[in-house]
Amino acid sequence: MSASRGTTGVITLRRSVTFLVIAVVAMTACSRGFQLRKYSTNDALYAASLGEFNKKKWDNAIMGFEKLTLDMSARDTLLPLSHWYLAWSHENQQEHILAATSFSRLAESFPDDSLADNALLEAGNAYLRLWRNPELDPQYGTLAQAQFRTLIGVYPESPLRPVADAAMLALDDRYAAKDYLNGMFYVRRGAFDSAIIYFKSVVKDYPNTDHARLALLRMVEVYLRPQMNYKDEAAETCTTLRTAYAGDKDVAKTCGAAADAVAKVVKPAADSAVPVRKPPR
């Protein structure tokens, strides 16, 4: 019995010593870690923060650069760079909103700095990463669009202009996809008039996207539905499709079927009292 107690006591003592050693090591590591109070000047803190950034210690970099953005004079040449690295530290942590805010602040505070156009582009990209699914609320897409549009308007000669233009086209495609998917939602539920409204919106607002072609194709299909039977409108839409997308296989297939459907129409007698349903405008 006493031997058992003695063994238990030894084990307990060893565990206590082990925990004590771990605690001491942890405290020592913390005391040697990145601490803002160690750096008495902004230049020293900038150099240390940049070192943490290069070592991919994003939390430490954020601490350092955030303090610098608050403490530095507006005339300090390191202030724009501090905003830049703070933004990228957030971005590397997948903190896209904080990153976009920091990039935007750089561009707003230092519009003449060489990083201003870069910052606007990266702010737009950060917001864009938050709107991956066109079916979701386009709030962040709108914010991204504002950044790209500002870059194009304020820095038209920037070498990043083509990148911003491409980003705007990509955003148009997402907006077009959103309206197109809304139209398909109403098609599946038999609300064909509402579907046509959304498809027309895609064609009008985003004519340079492929969703405009898809929307026109779906319009032909909806017009030919028995519930709609707008064969003249289907024919007109096919004329538009053949003009804009000559040689397209989908256009040939869909409009070939439309032509066959129109050819089979038997016109009623002139005195027939068949009601005619008007398409939505």
pLDDT tens digits along 239-262: 999 999 999 999 999 998 766 665
The Cα–Cα gap between 119 and 116 comes to 5
Q: Total domain count for the chain?
A: 2
Residue that wins the pLDDT comparison between 134 and 184? 184
Q: Is the pLDDT of residue 26 over 50?
A: no
Domain identity same for 141 and 223: no
Is residue 131 in a domain? yes
Out of 144, 159, 174, pick the residue that ends a domain: 159
Q: Is the pLDDT of residue 13 over 60?
A: no
Is residue 2 in a domain? no
pLDDT at site 22: 43
Domain identity same for 114 and 222: no
Q: Is the pLDDT of residue 276 over 90?
A: no
**CATH number of the domain residue 249 falls in:** 1.25.40.10
Range of the domain at 195: 182-265+276-281
Q: Is the pLDDT of residue 192 over 90?
A: yes
Q: With cut-offs at 50, 70 and 90, classify the pLDDT of residue 280.
A: low
Domain identity same for 111 and 151: yes
Domain identity same for 198 and 108: no
**What's the rounded mean pLDDT across residues 179-205?**
96
Is residue 16 in a domain? no
The encoded tokens of residue 184 equal 């398909």
pLDDT at site 31: 40
Q: With cut-offs at 50, 70 and 90, classify the pLDDT of residue 275.
A: very low
Classified as helix, coil or strand, 99 is helix
